């Protein structure tokens, strides 16, 4: 049996081994979580939207969809499926798990998997809006990136920057209002977009390197007649714009900024998304740590409230009050602090709008706010 002293030593050794094993398992689990979460954040393939909703039937001027959190959202949307798309309007009827919405265009066959897109149109400026455009190539440090150029009369150009996993089509909604103001629009792509150069590691850097592709677009605009620019960013495009304003030598050429549901703090955005997934917020720093290790990110740099950019031009900030992807409270806090930050800012919140859907819920109000803001900025047009 052994002496009491020997038994105590055995128990102590067993306790130490057990503690070490548990600590190792916990560390491995936390690192595994951090790697998975960082992959969801950084790997472009994980940002590409899929098709999660289903068409159940269609009739003249309407389409029926299986009810889901998305298919009941208010407003005007794009209905997209592999190889096709249409424009759908508000919900007209709901019953027994089915949602009926207005339809412009032709619906796909019953049973087709689809998705709703805020961009509404999935084509190009001419096909969607009857606006003349050209396909241009922006020379970035990684190679040429495609962009749409919608010409107009002003020497102030709008450089439009879409969000994570999005595309140039995001800008189609606002092109008519901008065109009416006479502002040329350069809707850009950036590294890891379809058709654009791949980053050396194949990962998103959440704005930390993508701003240089926007800098190349601004330089292109200046070289083709732009006297100054308006930067327009949606979601992660807002984070990219923020980094451009803080780090680019061309930031002085920015006359105004428009941000729509922007990421003004990646930490607060990750905290919201962790709550949505039922993941403790205390694990967010682990995801940030692993992401930092993978792509050398400084998450504090992206907090525009605590670290405002050096260049702070007049800014119009839109956000949906029902945004479940990027926290509306972060935009509210930034707008509330604008006076203290010496940052001219006008904030517009659309109560029922989901992520980047402020235009979709109230197109007329959105376009009016956009037009009034740009009309008020000296040096534009």
pLDDT beyond 70 at 29: no
3-state DSSP assignment of residue 74: coil
Which is nearest to 142 in space by CA: 224, 205, 92, 96? 205
Q: Is residue 6 predicted with pLDDT exceeding 80?
A: no
Distance, in Å, from the CA atom of 171 to the CA atom of 158, rounded to the nearest integer, reads 10
Closest CA to 263 of 326, 325, 315, 214: 326
Strand-strand pairing, 84-95 and 77-81: antiparallel
Tens of pLDDT, residue by residue over 108-132, are 999 999 999 999 999 999 999 999 9
C-alpha to C-alpha distance for 356 and 363, rounded to whole angstroms: 12
Q: CA neighbours within 13 Å on the CB side: how many for 65?
A: 32
**Which of 310, 315, 311, 285 lies closest to 299, judged by CA?**
285
pLDDT on residue 123: 95
Q: Is 126-265+303-376 CATH 3.40.50.1820?
A: yes
pLDDT-derived band at 25 (thresholds 50, 70, 90) equals very low
* CB 185 within 8 Å of CB 378: no
Counting every residue written for the chain, the total comes to 381
Number of Cβ within a 10 Å radius of residue 314: 21
Choice among 5-14, 87-96, 287-296, 352-361 with the minimum mean pLDDT: 5-14
Using the 8-state DSSP alphabet, how is residue 172 labeled? Answer: G
**DSSP character string of 291-347:** HHHHH---GGGG-TTTS--S----EEEEEETT-SSS-HHHHHHHHHTTTTTT--EEE
Q: Looking only at Cα atoms, what is the longest distance across the chain? A: 95
pLDDT tens per residue across span 300-337:
999 999 999 999 999 999 999 999 999 999 999 999 99
Q: Comparing C-alpha atoms, which of 170, 189, 215, 197 is closest to residue 77? A: 170
Where would I find the H helices in the chain?
A: 4-42, 44-47, 125-129, 175-180, 211-223, 236-247, 266-276, 284-295, 328-336, 358-361, 363-376
Tally of CA atoms within 13 A in the half-sphere of 92 that contains its CB: 11
Domain boundaries of the chain, sorted by first residue: 53-117, 126-265+303-376
| 3-class secondary-structure state, position 121 | coil
- Ordered strands of the 315-320 beta sheet: 134-140, 143-150, 185-188, 156-161, 228-234, 254-260, 315-320, 345-350
Q: How high does pLDDT run on average in the chain?
A: 91
Q: Is the pLDDT of residue 11 over 70?
A: no
Residue 10 reports pLDDT greater than 60: no
Cα 321–Cα 232–Cα 134 angle in degrees, nearest 5: 130
Band of residue 35 on the pLDDT scale cut at 50, 70, 90: confident
């Amino acid at each position: 049996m052994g002496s009491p002293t020997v038994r105590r030593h055995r128990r102590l050794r067993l306790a130490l081994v057990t503690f070490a094993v548990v600590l190792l398992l916990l560390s491995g689990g936390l690192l595994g979580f951090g790697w998975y979460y960082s992959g969801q954040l950084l790997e472009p393939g994980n940002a590409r939207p899929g098709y999660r909703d289903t068409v159940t039937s269609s009739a003249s001027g309407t389409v029926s969809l299986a009810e889901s959190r998305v298919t009941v959202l208010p407003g005007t949307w794009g209905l997209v499926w592999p190889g096709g798309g249409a424009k759908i309007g508000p919900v007209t009827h709901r019953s027994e798990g089915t949602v009926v919405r207005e339809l412009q265009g032709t619906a796909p066959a019953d049973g087709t998997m689809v998705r709703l897109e805020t961009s509404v149109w999935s084509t190009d400026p001419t096909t969607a809006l009857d606006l003349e455009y050209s396909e241009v190539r922006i020379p970035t440090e990684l190679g040429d990136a495609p962009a749409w150029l919608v010409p107009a009369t002003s020497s102030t150009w709008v450089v439009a920057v879409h969000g994570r996993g999005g595309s140039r089509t995001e800008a189609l909604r606002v092109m008519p209002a901008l065109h009416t103001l006479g502002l040329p629009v350069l809707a850009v792509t950036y590294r890891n977009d379809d058709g654009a150069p791949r980053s050396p590691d194949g990962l998103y850097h959440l704005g930390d390197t993508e701003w240089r592709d926007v800098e190349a677009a601004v330089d292109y605009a200046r070289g083709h007649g732009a006297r100054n620019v308006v930067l327009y960013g949606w979601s992660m495009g807002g984070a990219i714009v923020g980094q451009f304003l803080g780090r680019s030598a061309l930031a002085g050429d920015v006359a105004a900024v428009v941000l729509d549901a922007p990421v003004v703090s990646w930490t607060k955005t990750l905290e919201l998304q962790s709550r949505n997934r039922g993941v403790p917020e205390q694990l967010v720093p682990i995801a940030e740590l692993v992401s930092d290790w993978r792509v050398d990110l400084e998450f504090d740099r992206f907090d525009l409230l605590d670290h405002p950019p050096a260049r702070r031009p007049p800014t119009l900030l839109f956000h949906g009050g029902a945004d479940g992807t990027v926290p509306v409270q972060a935009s509210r806090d930034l707008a509330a602090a604008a006076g203290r930050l010496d940052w001219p800012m006008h904030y517009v919140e659309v109560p029922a709008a989901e992520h980047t859907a402020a235009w979709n819920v109230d197109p007329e109000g959105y376009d009016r706010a956009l037009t009034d803001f740009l009309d008020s900025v000296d040096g534009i047009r």
